[in-house]
Amino acid sequence: MNAVECKKVKKQFKEKTVFEELNLKIEAGKIYGLLGRNGSGKTTLMNLITTKYLPTEGEIEVFGEPVYENENVLRKICFMSDYMPAFLNSSVKNLLKDAAAFYDNWDQAYAEKLLQLFQIEKKESYNVLSKGKKTCIGIIIGMASNCELTIFDEIYSGLDAVARQQFYDLILEDYMEKQRTFILSTHLISEMGNLFSDLILIDQGKVLIQGEVEELRTRIYAFSAKPELLEKMNPHTVLKKESFGGTEKRILNGTFTSEELSEYQLQGIKVESLSLQDIFITLTTGEVKE
């Protein structure tokens, strides 16, 4: 079952078109990393899914139902970002009370446990909390909501290293137990890469790549050798090409068998796997570099 499906979605703000025709399926029961440079369309996508924006054209379904003006579906979605203006001028106690009234599967005991973990008192005012503690409130509500679709938009940016690791552990523990669908928008690619089961990479309003992380890692490699050796390789899509003296480096996207990679190495071609961050940089830095 799909947690989210976007069908020919167009989103336009006056003269600016963010999405021309977005088609996207997000399967239920996975942890998605949503990646993209600033202005790529990530936040617009999340705002469309959560009905903060309406599409100019097209349809969006969540768990098989239209999301707009559908309270039954909206109660299944929890969206938390690093800035929640609706939380201002409220106490932590009242924020949790409001969340409990809205989310059908709210877990108050879990919320209390997370308050202790992040060392936050219910009597405190949200306004006076540090940026890191405000971030923790978003995490607590997102996790304790038990929503089938939970979206965190850069919520970890205000956390120190210890708190970020605590958050990552919470995501994995919860996912192993309940198989919720998480969408995590982030720029902390190298740090969070091991959390994701799947990846969605958006650039300039288009989905550049989507798929399972492990499958993606086996499709994109860097090959370095003299140009004449690289020319003899089986044809693959060239994502990037760089020259260093008499050596050329090509980053290729394709289907590579272990035997094929071993054969290239025997021919004197250096083969390197890429981190998610390297893949992200390669795919979002424009045309092939000569």
Assess whether 152 and 40 both reside in one domain.
Answer: yes
Last residue of a domain, one of 214, 233, 266: 214
In a domain, 202, yes or no: yes
Pairing assessment for the beta strands 220-225 and 270-273 based on DSSP bridges = antiparallel
Assess whether 206 and 226 both reside in one domain.
Answer: no
Tens of pLDDT along 129-181?
Answer: 999 999 999 999 999 999 999 999 988 877 899 999 999 999 999 999 988 99
Assess whether 199 and 127 both reside in one domain.
Answer: yes
Assess whether 198 and 223 both reside in one domain.
Answer: no
In a domain, 52, yes or no: yes
Q: How far apart are CA 210 and CA 255, in angstroms?
A: 15
Q: Which are the contacts of 278, defined by CB distance < 8 A and separation ≥ 6?
A: 222
- Supply angle C-alpha 97, 98, 103, rounded to 5: 100
In a domain, 135, yes or no: yes
Confidence band, pLDDT 50/70/90 cuts, at residue 85: confident
Q: How far apart are CA 158 and CA 133, in angstroms?
A: 8
Assess whether 231 and 105 both reside in one domain.
Answer: no
In a domain, 158, yes or no: yes
Q: Which are the contacts of 19, defined by CB distance < 8 A and separation ≥ 6?
A: 9, 10, 11, 41, 44, 45, 205
Last residue of a domain, one of 214, 234, 264: 214
Last residue of a domain, one of 160, 180, 214: 214
Assess whether 9 and 25 both reside in one domain.
Answer: yes
Assess whether 243 and 197 both reside in one domain.
Answer: no
In a domain, 290, yes or no: no
The token duo for 67 is 């999301």
Q: Which are the contacts of 121, defined by CB distance < 8 A and separation ≥ 6?
A: 92, 115
Q: How far apart are CA 40 and CA 60, in angstroms?
A: 19
pLDDT score of 287: 46
For residues 75-86, average pLDDT: 87
In a domain, 81, yes or no: yes
Strand partners of residue 35: 201
Helix (H, G, I), strand (E, B) or coil at 134: helix
Task: Find the domain containing 187 and state its range.
Answer: 2-214
In a domain, 74, yes or no: yes
Closest CA to 236 of 194, 288, 275, 196: 288
Pairing assessment for the beta strands 149-153 and 77-81 based on DSSP bridges = parallel
pLDDT score of 157: 75
Assess whether 249 and 163 both reside in one domain.
Answer: no
Assess whether 191 and 273 both reside in one domain.
Answer: no
pLDDT above 90: percentage of residues in the chain: 70
Helix (H, G, I), strand (E, B) or coil at 115: helix
Q: How many domains does the chain have?
A: 2
Assess whether 227 and 201 both reside in one domain.
Answer: no
Q: How far apart are CA 135 and CA 130, in angstroms?
A: 9
Assess whether 92 and 176 both reside in one domain.
Answer: yes
CATH number at residue 23: 3.40.50.300
pLDDT score of 283: 84
Tens of pLDDT along 87-101?
Answer: 888 999 999 999 999
Q: How far apart are CA 203 and CA 61, in angstroms?
A: 22
Q: Work out the burial of residue 72: count CB atoms within 10 Å of its CB; fewer than 13 is exposed, 13-18 middle, 19 or more buried.
A: exposed
Assess whether 157 and 177 both reside in one domain.
Answer: yes
Tens of pLDDT along 19-61?
Answer: 999 999 999 999 999 999 888 999 999 999 999 999 999 999 9
In a domain, 256, yes or no: yes
Tens of pLDDT along 176-221?
Answer: 998 899 999 988 888 888 899 999 999 989 998 899 998 888 889 9
